[in-house]
Structure 1
Amino acid sequence: MNQANQYKTFIYTALPCEAKSLTAHFKLKKDTAVEPFAVYLNQDICLIVTGPGKSAMAAGVAYTQALLASAENPVMLNIGIAGHKDHALGTLRLIDKIIDLDSGKHYYPPLVCNQHCLTDSLQTASRPQLQYDLPHLYDMEASAFYETATRFSCAELTQCLKVVSDNKQMPAENIEPKQVSALIAAHIPTVEALLTDMTALAKLITSPEPHLFSQLVQQYHFTASERIQLKNLLCRWDVLTDHRELEFDGTDLKRGKDVLRRLDQQIGKMDFCL
């Protein structure tokens, strides 16, 4: 593996058939120097096939992130198949809620990019769910992916994209690898659009910090998305005032949201012309 290249985009799949159309489209080449997992690379993207199940997915994410010593705030995307009670085969969903059936933990990936498809909730279990009795998607890896990936990147850059491969009428026992590859291949334009948005967001998050940013982040609690808003507002102030000192009295502010509101008000009162 080319450790000198700091990969910023990581795609994780559980199965080779989930990865096949992606490796072909993005022209990814297998790195034979990596033995524990199948790793495919181009100049910008690193795709990893971890194997099925939560333990394999968690290990694959942790191993590749540690090995690559990736750049700050990498894009982390899990793409794979899932079952559903009645969604048609080939239905694509971006996951906004993950429920781990074994631990009972809930995760809520924040959806801050443009929504290129509908969203849905997903349940992750250690064994295939063949009853299809609840209106959720079902898989065997997403909760482990999300919990592990968010140790290496922010939640906004950690997303799960699932394609329905089985339902009550067409249960999981009938799934064929060629069918899985074809189902994912049909949604590659959406995958590309999502990765483009996530990459743009990553660049924004890692842009140089404006004046007062570190001070305010230490003084108040901001979520990751609120930090993006804070950085945008401070950068806007610098542009509009030619880096004039911002006199900021935050004695009556308690939360990050209060700070954002105050900054927005101050900028809104400014007189400027183009």
Structure 2
Amino acid sequence: MSARFTPPDNEAMVGPFAQCVRHPNATPLTYHGTNSWILAAPNDGACVVVDPGPDDAACIGRIAEACARRGLTVAAVAVTHDHFDHAECAEEAGRVFGAPVLGVASGTLGPGPLELPGVSLAIEVVPLPGHSSDSVGFLVEEGALVVTGDVVFAQSPTMVCWPDGRMGDYLASLDVLGRLVAERGVERLLTGHGPVIENPSERIEQARRHRLQRLQQVVSAVRSGIPADAEALVEAVYNDVRPELHDGAVRSVNAQLRFAFDEGILQENR
């Protein structure tokens, strides 16, 4: 697998339009840490910072140093979603950089072109709910890339963070990503944690297969007599999950159960 992906070393450029600043907040959920992305055209003096990271002044410092080395000012701080490991320092980053903070949860970011003073790079905001209700991607068509947050990873499946995240939304967002690859020429997915995905169609389908396989395991377990209860089903179906990921597995099972009930795959006992 390692031969298929480009690890984003700290301050590594991924093509001419995106730079990764990786923070050392490694956990079982964040992998090696959160990836902040600096998006700028090669000749621009201003950039967009996506996902500044957790509440740690050192995160802002790393981004500031990377921008200063390139002579960039920050036109906006934007977040793919409002989870703390991506967005907790966003307001402080906006204050430090003197820039607006943009996100769906705060009502300051909507779908479509992101137009900012001093930024000539064409960036399009694409709704990608499922991991969370407010998840978005940032499409840079000229660079054949999308900054995806936590929608999909190279190294592992993501989590559908029920009740805010919904499995039906997640599957629909995989469809959206697939269309961006097929119709808009996207070649790279710049993720919130871990390596850049350079085989996007394959990885999107792997994510879909994994989610549907887990759904089938949950449905089969309930039909075999195991209660439609997330804790019981995690013990039966997710027995290969590390203990520190237990809570995430419970959320994912709840998302699968809700999807199965809503789609009529299982009968809900109210």
Which TM-score band (shorter chain)?
under 0.3
What's the TM-score once normalised by structure 2's chain length? 0.25
Q: Flag the structure with more relative contact order, 1 or 2, with Cα contacts below 8 A and sequence separation at least 6.
A: 1
Superposition TM-score, scaled by structure 1 size: 0.25
